[in-house]
Amino acid sequence: MLIAEDWALTAAHCVSTANFFVSAGDYDYSDSSANKQFRKANLVMHLGYNRSTNANDIALVRVESAFELNSCVGTVCLPEEDVSSGQSCWITGWGTLSSGGGQPNKLQEAKVEIISNDDCMDNYDYSAGQILPSMICAQGSAKGSPIDACQGDSGGPLVCETDGTWYINGATSWGYGCAAEEYPGVWARVHVFRDWIEESMVNPIEPAKCPDFCSIFSADVDGDCECPYGTQCIREGIERNCPSSAGIGGYASYFSATCEDCTCEEA
């Protein structure tokens, strides 16, 4: 979601590195429309995202050059107030139309209703403490069946309208399956991160750089670099001897960006 001409908001679990492109003005990704604009991602910012709990599943991406804003490309406002339980909002994405199903070529949209965190744990099957303050639950309904985001929608928007203005209140984060009545979808609660977003846009922090022989040019969200496919990290001639976010030798092909004598060799 564009929140400025050169900044996009997404979910942290979507961006392990800055090695990707951001597309704007897209609607049908099978169509090579002149309305589409592509920019190389220059910087990925993130909070202390926790893969185990899905806490702080939010990220900022700065693109290499600003997008041209026009009738097909626009920005969405950061929320001035937190979203309320029972409020109707909209989600969009190119995710699968059912769990494990096929993906559409054209952008889909759906109406959902915000569920309070307490209700999400008390009246549905999420465990106590599983829905954190940095998260939003929501679910829609059509013809008696639940409406939800699904695989491939991650990082996409949950937008809510107030007095004619649309605000980005959520980034698609996680859930159990898709559109299960007992498991509403879960989004990152953007309002919680507003101060961090604004500060990061003014004072961006460069991610650690990786050596040229790596498959990525900047460290991932855990501060690790990745060896090319088919190779693993070696230090001092010993396999699985490299420091990483999982400890010494915790990963075969990942190593800490701060390691000066780590190399990659064929496995």
Which tens digit of pLDDT belongs to each residue from 215-244?
A: 777 787 778 898 998 999 999 999 889 999
Give the integer Cα–Cα distance in Å for 151 and 166: 25
User: Average pLDDT in the 77-101 region?
Assistant: 95
What percentage of the chain has pLDDT greater than the value 90? 74
Give the integer Cα–Cα distance in Å for 267 and 262: 14
**What pLDDT shows up at residue 176?**
94
DSSP-based three-state secondary structure for 169: strand
Residue 264: burial class (beta carbons within 10 Å; 0-12, 13-18, 19+): buried
Question: Cα(first)–Cα(last) distance of the chain, in Å?
Answer: 39
The whole-chain average pLDDT of the chain stands at 92
Query: 200 catalytic, yes or no?
Result: no
Over the stretch 100-131, which tens digit does the pLDDT of each residue have?
Answer: 889 999 999 999 999 999 999 999 999 999 99
**What pLDDT shows up at residue 47?**
67
Catalytic residue among 16, 154, 200, 244: 154
Which residues are 41's β-sheet partners? 63
Catalytic residue among 6, 57, 153, 220: 57
Q: Dihedral (C-alpha) 166, 168, 172, 178: value to the nearest 10 degrees?
A: -30
Give the integer Cα–Cα distance in Å for 128 and 114: 18
pLDDT over threshold 80, residue 248: yes
Over the stretch 169-210, which tens digit does the pLDDT of each residue have?
Answer: 999 999 999 999 999 999 999 999 999 999 999 988 777 888
Of the options 2.40.10.10, 3.40.50.10420, 3.30.1330.10, 2.60.260.20, the CATH number for the domain spanning 88-190: 2.40.10.10
Check the CA dihedral 84-89-95-100 and report its sign: positive
In the chain, the amino acid numbered 257 is A
Please report which confidence band the pLDDT of residue 33 belongs to, taking 50, 70 and 90 as the band edges. confident
Which residues, other chains included, contact 199 with Cβ-Cβ below 8 Å and sequence gap of 6+? none
Query: 220 catalytic, yes or no?
Result: no
Q: 26 to each of 22, 106, 112, 163, how far by Cα in Å?
A: 10, 9, 23, 27
Query: 57 catalytic, yes or no?
Result: yes
CATH 2.40.10.10 domain position(s) in the chain: 2-63, 88-190
Catalytic residue among 13, 46, 148, 220: 13
Torsion angles phi and psi, residue 131, rounded to 5 = -95, 105
Give the integer Cα–Cα distance in Å for 146 and 83: 21
CATH number 1.10.238.10 given to 2-63: no
> Tokens 């190593």 sit at which residue?
255
CB 157 within 8 A of CB 167: no
Residue 25's nearest CA partner among 44, 11, 5, 10 is: 5
Give the integer Cα–Cα distance in Å for 49 and 52: 9
Give the integer Cα–Cα distance in Å for 138 and 155: 15
pLDDT over threshold 80, residue 43: no
